[in-house]
Structure 1
Amino acid sequence: MNLQSQVALIPMKQEIFHSAEELELESGERLEEFDIQYTTYGEIAPDGGNVIWIVHALTGDSNAAEWWSGLIGEDKFYDPAKDFIICANLLGSCYGSTNPLSKKPGSDKSFFYEFPELTTRDLASSLERLRLHLGIRKIHTLIGGSLGGQVALEWAWELGDSLKNLIVLASTAKTSPWTIGFNETQRMSIESDVTWGEEIPNAGQVGLKTARAIAMLSYRHPKDFQRKQSDTEEKLDRFKASSYLRYQGEKLAKRFNALSYWLLSKTMDSHDLGRKRGGSAKALSEIKARVLAVGVNSDLLFLPEESQFISSHAKRGTYKEILSDAGHDAFLIEFEQLSSYIGSFYLEQKS
């Protein structure tokens, strides 16, 4: 049975939450109204104690069972037969939630470049709006990786006693200059596209291909490239690594848009859990949930010590490390290690 067939068998609901109440943003700007597309699997238990809320990464969507199939599904670690699993498409992303290509309220014109700046704190606030709308009082586990981990940290600080467990994968409490540098080079490639600045849906799409190729170099590790992209024959051109990066660029450009990519990469850059809270260490110490921070030994984008910082400053923090040559993307791949770490994290509560 292929992956699509397996996903089709998982009971799911996909809906759109519309908030008619304006959202005040950290920048001082406002979204008069907004939509969030979300996907749920399973049913909420009578006591509400089985809610697993997943926050996707930069170009992810709400269908977590598809992109995290090794962790979610029938007889998987998170099983809709026992868990109520929810994942919402982040505000600003282009899979059903309000984003730069959405129409302005009361207008037939899209936002395009006038879409307001978003921070991870703003994204957390929009998810909180959705939680209240759904009447979810408690979240058993909030889990996210990369940008999703940043948003999860912000939301965990806000949730207080309403959250039992926080799992942060390959992420950070504050975006480093190194990561900002990677993101800036990607935005520079989008800027170099002659269509960037035009008010058309596919503006910057050629530049987005290059941006994705740059991103892949930060998501993977040299050992992973050596193992998978080495050429067995002697040649002067048309290398496997070159074809791979071009393919990844083409693939993303077919399913994502440059305006959302630009916006969300800026969102990642601005992430700082300690902003106006006395610094990252103090903010982390104020998170009431138990915290599992998982780093990746080969991660070049969010270094393992950034995950260690999260666990060491959380009041009830635990650190685990994925051992893999895959680099940053290991949190999307190494399901056996993840399941083992999360399982032991849960068991510690019962001991």
Structure 2
Amino acid sequence: MKHSFKYQGKFLTELGSTIINPEFAYHTYGEFNPEKNNIIWICHAYTANSDAADWWDSMVGEGKFYDPTHYFIVCVNYLGSCYGSTGPMSINPETGIPWYRSFPDITVRDMVKGLDLIRQHLGIEKIHTIIGGSIGGFQALEWSIINPSLFTHTVLIACSVKTNPWAIALNESQRMSIAADPTFEQDIPGGGTNGLKAARTIALLSYRNGKAYNLTQAESNEEVVTNFKASSYQRYQGEKLVKRFDAYTYFLLTKVLDSHNIARKRAGFAEVLKTIKAKTLVISITSDILFPPEEQAYMASLIPGAILKTIASDFGHDGFLIESELLSKLLSNFYQT
């Protein structure tokens, strides 16, 4: 079920900006058990939304691994997104028009601050499992550091302690693509749409990899000289995204990704990670070129008692969304140990 929560007051961001009365969209599935210890909190990835049963339907739903007949499941559309929570396309109360490019820069920690507002609103004092992949993993990691006693289990998938230069470079190329669209600077609905299409195709190359493309986009006709399957696939994915997302939100979120670093304004990585109290499972994907397995191995080595597992997949970073059977087995074993 979809819900909305409006925070009454000033939301102070990590970088010193103020957002007045931010709103948050979130979904819940199932019911609390009498002990209120059956809560699964899912942190969604980049362009996803709070309806985890939709975008992660292989894992969430009746008969699936996270079954709402057994769990109370929460997923919040994070601050800065465009699926009901306050972000660049929301109305700025000081101007009466959408924020567009003037929306303040935010960080993963601000996203987590928003998640915690929903936790308090729901009266949740303990979370059985927090789980997330990619930027969802960034949120799960940060929250496990900020409030280590809140979680019994933490599951971190295809993420890292900080965003690497390769990922930052990819994000900069995407921002350049959006900014090259002259409509982006007009701050209008639909501004930057063509740039967003191009940016999405850049991102897809890092979400998958050469092997995945070669497996799924190969030509069966050796006479083809134009309009290749790979080309039409890229165009299709760009068109598909702009039907549900906007360039202003996308541009902002690439900057959020870039700024992720758990050591910022704290001690070093080892000192920060050793504060995590939850039983932790770290999962890498063998073919992930965005946040490669060595980054999860490093993270797991510094979290007390963390278990490191790897999913063998040809589908790169997106493997955590695709390899549900393998992921379910890892989670089942994790809960039983």
Is 1:166–1:290's contact at 8 Å kept on the other side of the alignment? yes
**Deviation (angstroms), 1:111:** 1.1
Gaps of 5+ in 2: none
Is residue 34 of structure 1 aligned with residue 28 of structure 2? no
Q: Percent identity?
A: 47
Q: Distance in 1 between matches of 2:30 and 2:95?
A: 37
2:80 to 65, 87, 92: 92
Residues 18 and 35, structure 1, Cα contact 8 Å, conserved in 2: yes
- TM-score, normalising length: structure 2: 0.98
CA apart distance, 1:106? 4.9
Q: CA RMSD in A?
A: 0.9
Provide the rounded CA distance (Å) in 1 between the counterparts of 2:251 and 2:33: 39
Q: Which amino acid aligns with 2:48?
A: G
Alpha-carbon distance in 1 for matches of 2:199, 2:95 = 31
1:181 offset after TM fit, Å?
Answer: 0.6
1:4 corresponds to: none
Aligned residues: 336
Write the mapping of 1:43-82 to structure 2, written as runs, cut at 5 A. Answer: 43-82=31-70
What SS does structure 1 have at the residue aligned with 2:182? coil
SS in 1 for 2:243: helix
CA distance in structure 1 between the partners assigned to 2:271 and 2:253 by the alignment: 26
User: How many angstroms does 1:121 deviate by?
Assistant: 0.7
User: In structure 2, what is the equivalent of residue 9 of structure 1?
Assistant: none
Partner of 1:249 in structure 2?
A: 238
Equivalent residue, structure 1, for 2:320? 331
Question: 1:269-288 to 2 correspondence within 5 Å?
Answer: 269-288=258-277
**Structure 1: gaps of 5 or more residues:** 1-12
Q: Write out aligned runs for 1:190-201 (5 A).
A: 190-201=178-189
1:214 is aligned to 2:233: no
Q: How many angstroms apart in 2 are the aligned matches of 1:170 and 1:18?
A: 31
Q: 296, 313, 330: which is aligned to 1:341?
A: 330
- CA distance in 1 between counterparts of 2:102 and 2:191 reads 14
Is the counterpart of residue 131 in structure 1 residue 144 in structure 2?
no
Q: In structure 1, what residue type is equivalent to 2:319?
A: A
Report whether the alignment pairs 1:174 with 2:165: no
Q: Which runs of 4+ in 1 moved over 6 A?
A: none
- Is the Cα–Cα contact under 8 Å of residues 174 and 280 in structure 1 kept in the other structure? no
* Counterpart in the other structure of 1:23: 11
Give 1:280 deviation, angstroms: 2.0
Q: How far apart, CA to CA, are the structure 2 residues paired with 1:106 and 1:266? A: 24
1:156 counterpart residue number: 144
Amino acid at match of 1:298: S
SS of structure 2 residue aligned to 1:255: coil
Structure 2 CA distance for aligned equivalents of residues 174 and 72 of structure 1: 28
Residue in structure 2 matched with residue 297 of structure 1 by the alignment:
286
Distance of aligned partners of 1:195 and 1:65 in 2 relative to their CA distance in 1, 3 Å threshold? same
Secondary structure of residue in 2 paired with 1:266: helix
Match of 2:191 in 1: 203
Q: Is the 8 A contact 1:311 1:319 kept in 2?
A: yes
